Chains A and B, each alone.
Chain A
Amino acid sequence: MSTPRNTPMNTPRTRKVLGPCSHVLVAARTGSWRTERPKADEALCVRCGTCARYCPTACITVHREGPPLSFDWDYCKGCGICANECPKQALTMIAEGSEEACP
């Protein structure tokens, strides 16, 4: 297999690829691992972004206006680091599938 790519000077425009080559960016649906999910208390949240900074899957988005946090449930593993690190205790972990989680 030979692929065209951006090459630095003095090298041929095409190169041979030896061995297996990863060329499709994929993701595992890690959201299915979750047994607990974070729930934000909108009155307590000060939009500091600490949860988003420490979230291993980067699935928290902090908004400047409106509801402060939104979560990407496809990938949130439910580890609870966000709730543990929140300086205002605005996040609580609730059981996945509970009434509170699926209103």
Chain B
Amino acid sequence: MLTYKVQPKGAVSPGMNTCQGCMIDVIFRNALDVLGPDTVLVIPPGCAAQFSGCGPEASVTVPGIQGNLENSAAIATGIARGFRHQGNEHTHVVVIAGDGGTVDIGLQSLSGAMERNENILYICYDNEAYMNTGVQGSSSTPLAASTTTTPAGKPVNSKDLIQIVMAHHVPYAATASVANIPDLRRKVEKARDIRGCRVLHVMSPCPTGWGYPPAKTVEVAREAINSGAWVLLEYEEGKIRLGKKPSDLGHVEKYFALQKRFRNADEEDMRRAGAHIAERYAWLEKMAAL
């Protein structure tokens, strides 16, 4: 039984130790609001781990477990199968993991769960590095971004998680952003009503690791969408549906200028990053036209 010492806001405790300007709270609150109380969370270590509780202290009103970085999808599989064995078809098993626990370390267990089409919802909030341990680069870190392990800027492009997910032919996958909360809620709602392995990839800029004032989180996320660095899309029944075309596709200068992690990026880096973004978008457009 949960003892309430404070009144939660939605299903989340009002005072979370997430950094000033961090929007993970908003992702949790909106996702749990849409999913309802009949939900079980699996959270690997990372910034979101504090939502799985610390000692006797809980931060969300739904039950959850903190797993390991590499096996969150496997733990969720076990929970979902256990529920099925008990005849429980109604409880949502939801993983909320960071990009390190999804794109790097947890990729194999997620891949297995997607292959078996387990009945889980996997939400990855992507802050493009290992922010919780002090901004180490992950494979989601974009080209030219400076982290403590890539101090001169990352020399290669990031992994394209959503295309890896789409290659597993899951029933539903989508990207969302904290810059568009109604869209995020709609996508969680859609994912809730589908059975099988559903994956949501949500961009969540990090003021601490990306080096911008906390007030600019939503602005940075919006600029990422405008420049095409983050593409909003939905994948359903083998069809890709792209969101609105980015207004400034391939022009990353404004997006880069907002963040200190790109302070070492020269014109050549910007050209390469812009070219990669434009190329990727053109490829997605071709796939969406099929």
Interface residues of A (CB under 8 A from B): 3, 5, 8-11, 20-31, 33, 53-59, 72, 74-75, 77-81, 83-85, 93
Contacts and interface: CB of A to CB of B under 8 A. Distances in A.
A60 to B, nearest CB: 11
Contacts of A78: 20
Interface string B1-17: 11111101110111111
B15 A75 contact: yes
Contact of A80 (B5, B9, B56, B215): B215
Interface in B48-99: 52-59, 61, 83, 86-88, 91
Nearest to B3: A24
A6 to B, nearest CB: 10
Closest 3 CB pairs of A and B: A22-B53, A80-B215, A27-B15
A23 B58 contact: yes
Contacts of B61: 25
Given A8-B91, A22-B56, 5 more contacts: A23-B2, A25-B8, A26-B57, A56-B18, A57-B15
Q: Secondary structure of the A side of the interface?
A: loop
A22 B49 CA distance: 13
B215 A9 contact: no
Contact of A54 (B20, B207, B218): B218
A64 B15 CA distance: 26
B155 interface: no
Given A3-B1, A28-B16, A79 B214 contact: yes
B83 A8 contact: yes
Contacts of B1: 3, 5, 23
A103 to B, nearest CB: 24
B186 to A, nearest CB: 14
B58 A22 contact: yes
Contact of A84 (B17, B20, B181, B219): B219
Nearest to B214: A79
B23 interface: yes
A8 B86 contact: yes
B86 A10 contact: yes
Contacts of B59: 22, 25-27
Given A23-B58, A57-B25, A81-B21, A8 B87 contact: yes
B169 interface: no
A26 B5 contact: yes
B127 interface: no
Nearest to B64: A22
B179 to A, nearest CB: 9
Contact of B16 (A30, A31, A55): A30
A8 B90 CA distance: 10
Contact of A21 (B4, B25, B56, B219): B56
A9 to B, nearest CB: 6
B23 A30 contact: no
Nearest to B10: A58
A23 B181 contact: no
A96 B5 CA distance: 27
